[in-house]
Structure 1
């Protein structure tokens, strides 16, 4: 299994999509930077403190970009073998479908968490450049855990892209669905039903802005929603992948 995961990352080193995803991890810090520049040059007001910077990072991740980027990564990892016509050759070796499928999921999650870590580091650097107050080891540790756990839960929700990719053998449908879910996040945010929406529910679980959380929210709701989506997506993907013959 370790060799399979290692091989996947070696292939990613030569992939343009991996380099593009690294640029994608800069989108949230860039938005935060633009807001801070506006504060400094136009509004002439003080900058956010570090708690607000890290809070905005999680908000942008959950509502705008996290799920869409994760679905792109998941769909690319599974679709590239079909697009490059290499899956048949891979599965004719001693590699089983179980090992192949599991290694892809592991690489997908590691890739996503790596991008989130890069984004957090860039936000930290931006805060230091703008002399944002309130940085402490405790706040940094809490923010790190929150954003990484939030992204991990977004990874579980984004497993839906795996089944869609296997079904259509294309990355376009997962991207369209990811865009739709992200737009829905913006529309339903702060609504009483948003506690049942996967991305906003994840945001409420990790946000430090308690006023943002609607009445009736419970962490168990988030766990149940995310867990259900992940289990159903994995089962559908595995059953379909296991029973469908691999095309030439």
Structure 2
């Protein structure tokens, strides 16, 4: 398995997707810095903390920007054998197809985790610049580490909910359809982010869980987790099942 993951990672060295994805997630720390500066000049009486900045970034990370980027890299990983015409080279390898898919999903998880860390570090550094110039309450590493744990848990939940897009990428043998589907999902997440029904929408339920507002919706935590798990399992099953039936053409 480690060899498969290493192989997938080595293929990424020749791709610009890693750099593009890093630049994409860094847009969130930049937006947080701009919002902080605007707030400082418009409402200098307001006092906010590092925790406030991390909290405000959750919406962009889990529902908007990072979600679309994670779907894009999922589509890229699971469609590249079709778009680059390397499937005929891949299938004859004497390794089970299940292991090949596991290697891709493990690589996807590592990639998502890396981008989550980049987002967290970016917010910490740019907030540090704001702190150095304007000052900020409770700017310390203890607060940042507490939010790191939440970010990592959120990345796990997001990894689970992008599994259906891996199947879409394989089924359509391309990059475009999953990205368009993700845009629809993100629009739905944005619309339900302030609605109680968002607890029943898996891509918004993850946000509610991390933000800690699920109980206020009136729906139980086990129900939301069950919906997320159901969508995830269906996505994994469809992906593995489709690749098992894939044939050389």
How much has 1:89 moved relative to structure 2? 0.8
Alpha carbons of structure 1 residues 177 and 213: separation in structure 2 relative to 1, 3 Å: farther
Who is 2:25 aligned against?
25
Indicate if the aligned counterparts of 2:25 and 2:66 stay in contact, CA closer than 8 A: no
Q: What is the TM-score when the length of structure 1 is the normalising length?
A: 0.92
CA distance in 2, matches of 1:55, 1:34: 15
Distance 2:211 2:174 in 1: 34
How far apart are the structure 2 equivalents of 1:34 and 1:121?
16
Structure 1 pair 63–93 and aligned structure 2 pair: CA distance change class (3 A): closer
Partner of 1:184: 188
Instruction: Quote the offset at 1:93 in angstroms.
Output: 2.2
- Go from structure 1 to structure 2 and tell me whether the alpha carbon gap of 1:10 and 1:183 turns closer, same or farther (over 3 Å shift): same
Alignment of 1:114-153 (within 5 A): 114-131=114-131, 132-153=136-157
User: Compared with structure 1, are the counterparts of its residues 80 and 159 closer, same or farther at alpha carbon in structure 2 (3 Å cutoff)?
Assistant: same
In the aligned structure 1, how far is the partner of 2:149 from the partner of 2:219?
21
The alpha-carbon deviation at position 66 of structure 1 amounts to 2.8
What secondary structure is seen at the aligned counterpart in 2 of 1:130? helix
Q: Structure 1 122/195 Cα, relative in aligned 2: closer, same or farther at 3 Å?
A: same
Report the Cα distance in structure 2 between the residues aligned to 1:199 and 1:216, rounded to whole angstroms. 18
Quick one: distance in 1 between partners of 2:113 and 2:51? 21
**TM-score (structure 2 length as normaliser):** 0.92
Question: What's the offset of the Cα at 1:237?
Answer: 1.2
Residue 233 (structure 2) pairs with residue 231 (structure 1)? yes
- 1:203 counterpart residue number: 207
**1:39/1:47 contact within 8 Å kept:** no
RMSD after superposition: 1.8
Q: SS of the residue aligned with 2:95?
A: coil
- Report the equivalent of 2:160: 156
1:108 Cα deviation from its structure 2 partner: 0.6
Asked if 2 retains the 8 angstrom alpha-carbon contact of 1:57 and 1:120, the reply is no
SS of residue matched to 2:64 = helix
Q: How far does residue 137 in structure 1 lie from its aligned partner after superposition?
A: 4.4
1:52 paired with 2:56, answer no
Alignment match, 1:4: 4
Structure 2: which 5+ residue stretches go unaligned?
Answer: none
Contact persistence 2:166–2:239 (CA under 8 A):
yes
Deviation readout 1:153-192 (Å, 9 max, x if unpaired): 1111111111101110011111011111111111112212
Residues in 1 aligned to 2:210 and 2:152: alpha-carbon distance in whole angstroms: 10
Give ranges in structure 1 of 5+ residues lacking alignment. none
- The counterpart of 1:219, out of the listed 195, 218, 221, is 221
Tell me how far 1:33 sits from its aligned partner. 1.4
Per-residue CA deviations over 1:4-27 (Å, capped at 9, x if unaligned) read 111111111220112111111112
Structure-2 separation of matches of 1:43 and 1:242: 58
Moved over 4 A (4+): none
**Is 2:178 aligned against 1:174?**
yes
In 2, the alpha carbon distance for the partners of 1:103 and 1:230 equals: 17
